[in-house]
Amino acid sequence: MKLPAIPFQKDKPQDDPAQNLIFLESYLKIALNIHALQNFVSLSLFLEISQVENEGGARKYKELYVRKRAGGRYNENQLILRCGAFWKCWNKRYMIITSEGVMYSKGHMKVDSFIRENLLFDHHFELKYGKQETGLERGLNLNYSNRKLHIEALDIFGFFDLLASLTDAFENSPYILQNRFRSFAPVRENSFCKYYIDGEEYFHDVCDALLSAQTEVFITDWWLSPELYLKRPVSLTRNTYTRLDRILKRIAENGVLVKIIVYNECKIVLSLDSEHTQKTLQNLHPNITVIRHPGYLLPTFLWSHHEKMIIVDQEVGFLGGFDLCYGRMDTQNHYLFDNSQYQSLQKDEEELANSENEEFFPGIDYSNSRKKDFVNVKKFEQPLIPKKEVPRMPWHDIAVRIVGEAVSDMSRHFIQYWNFVKFDLEPKKKRKKLFTKGFF
């Protein structure tokens, strides 16, 4: 039996104990994939090494089995209640404590190692323990803003291990304090921010960032139009590759995971057609997942998701007022009719003739909601108003591009948002496995 080579990297210092531990853990995890070693359950438990995915570089404090009581989620107070939660059943679960928070799975090997829940530390987190607080000698309660996790250690030694590990992990988390401006995240010094006024440059940079994606893309939006062109002007031969659906398909085919949350609108009031968005994008490639929230049982006409955020590889983030949808593209000149803003800049008649088939606001994107609001957005090739007769409505908004440590905070927020929506919409048996840090 040949063991794999130890995964040291040349650019990593070999005399750094913390780094060496990370490499050693990586090696042991690889070794666990060898069939002959998978029967050594006691060895893997002693080393606290499992096949549970823990990506993202979070520091690990503890792995062990505990007993977990069913229930404790906010939506289990609704009309439909799971039997396990009703009877407060206890089940054995494998728990991992990291600097990010707590996650657990059904087991620590093979199919049971799938993460069932990932709870991140924040300033709402509260740890209670002992019989007086929990009713159990070895009990611990982990209270979050939308979740209460009741667990019990299997023995007294496991109880003290749990208590010490949870205390250390929580106290070393940068998210436990009430930060400046009541933010969930601390001040980040090593970050760069670029602001945008109007959509032309914003969508241009979003396009380039998406095309550069290597691993994952996160998007939240109130309205997302798959057929939106991110660079203008558009013709049969110019900027056709910048259409959003074509960009997402291209990067998904290259192995990038694309996760999107869009508002599930009340159809009586709005014509965003998020169903069209979901079906169109998910049919492009299996790496693209779109979820619509809230569910149909909630009064969606009373509120909506208005968050607009794009994160690429957890390294570059865009945040602000621009949806990736029709009607938001504009220049700082805010021209009222198509073509005028770039035809006037042509150098000679030949170039002007070649640009006659170009459009800055193609199809439905030439719009004026004061005259006619968006309807039937599937027919995106047809303008809503006559281009030569009715002026378009200019659109003015602001946004920012962020590079640096602050993007990790944006990513953390998206991960919490995604996990919350998944639990809110999907029964446990149908919940799909995802392969990005913090997802399930």
Residue 213 lies in a domain: yes
For residue 58, which of 438, 439, 404, 440 has the smallest C-alpha distance?
Answer: 438
Cα 82 versus chain centre, distance: 27
> How many separate domains does the chain show?
3
Higher-confidence residue of 245 and 425: namely: 245
Q: Residue 95's domain is classified under what CATH number?
A: 2.30.29.30
- Alpha carbons 309 and 265: distance in angstroms, whole number: 18
Per-residue confidence band for 296, with pLDDT thresholds at 50, 70 and 90? low
User: Is 399 found in the same domain as 350?
Assistant: yes
Do 45 and 72 belong to one domain? no
Please check whether residues 40 and 69 belong to one and the same domain: no
Other Cβ atoms within 10 Å of 200 Cβ, number: 19
**What confidence score (pLDDT) does residue 20 get?**
75
Contact criterion met (CB below 8 Å) for 373 and 272: no
pLDDT tens for each residue of 104-135: 999 988 888 888 888 889 888 999 999 999 99
DSSP string, 219-276: EEES---TT-BSSSSB-SSSSGGGBHHHHHHHHHHTT-EEEEEEE---TTT----HHH
pLDDT digit string (tens) for 377-433?
Answer: 999 998 889 988 899 999 999 999 999 999 999 999 999 899 888 877 875 545 554
- Could you tell me if residue 423 is inside a domain? no
Residue 435 covered by a domain: no
Distance CA 339, CA 366 (A): 11
**With contact defined as beta carbons under 8 Å apart, do 320 and 399 qualify?**
yes
Of the candidates 425, 439, 414, the one whose C-alpha atom is nearest the C-alpha of residue 78 is 425
What are 329-349's pLDDT values in tens digits? 999 999 999 864 444 444 455
397 occurs within a structural domain: yes
Burial class of residue 130 in the structure, from the number of CB atoms within 10 Å of its CB (0-12 exposed, 13-18 middle, 19+ buried): middle
Compute the half-sphere exposure of residue 42: CA atoms within 13 Å on the CB side of its CA: 0
Q: What are phi and psi of 302, to 5 degrees?
A: -95, -15
Cross-strand partners of 97: 62, 102
Mean pLDDT, residues 78-82: 51
| Same domain flag for 91 and 144 | yes
The DSSP annotation for 93-115 comes to: EEEEEESSEEEEES-SSGGGGSE
Per the CB < 8 A criterion, the answer to whether 401 and 205 are in contact is yes
Q: For residue 19, is it within any domain?
A: yes
List b or e across 248-286, with b for residues whose CB sees 16 or more CB atoms inside 10 angstroms.
bbbbbeeebbbbbbbbbbbeeebebbbebbbebbbebbe
Q: Is 434 domain-assigned?
A: no
Amino acid identity for residue 279 in this structure: K
Q: Pairing state of beta strands 216-221 and 257-263?
A: parallel
Cα dist. 126→6, 79, 152, 382 in Å? 39, 27, 16, 55
Q: Is residue 424 part of a domain?
A: no
Residues 393, 285 within the same domain:
yes
Is 115 inside a domain boundary? Answer: yes
- Choosing from 180, 210, 236, the residue where a domain stops is 180
pLDDT at res. 349:
53
Residues 165 and 202 in one domain: no
Whether residues 217 and 329 fall in one domain: yes
Question: Among the three residues 128, 149, 180, which one is the final residue of a domain in this structure?
Answer: 180
236 shares its domain with 268: yes
Name the residue with tokens 């869009």: 262
Q: Which two tokens stand for residue 124?
A: 């709402």
Is residue 149 domain-shared with residue 271, that is, in the same domain? no
25 and 174 fall within a common domain: no
Closest CA to 342 of 326, 355, 357: 355
The mean pLDDT value for 311-332 works out to: 96
Distance CA 233, CA 390 (A): 20
Kindly indicate the confidence band of residue 10, based on its pLDDT and cuts at 50, 70 and 90. Answer: very low
Range of the domain at 24: 1-49
Between 176 and 222, the more confident residue is 222
Q: What is the average pLDDT across 304-320?
A: 94
Same domain, 162 and 249: no
This prediction has a pTM of 0.82
Look at residue 131 in the predicted model and tell me its pLDDT. 93
Q: What is the mean pLDDT of residues 58-86?
A: 74
Cβ pair 433, 334 in contact under 8 A: no
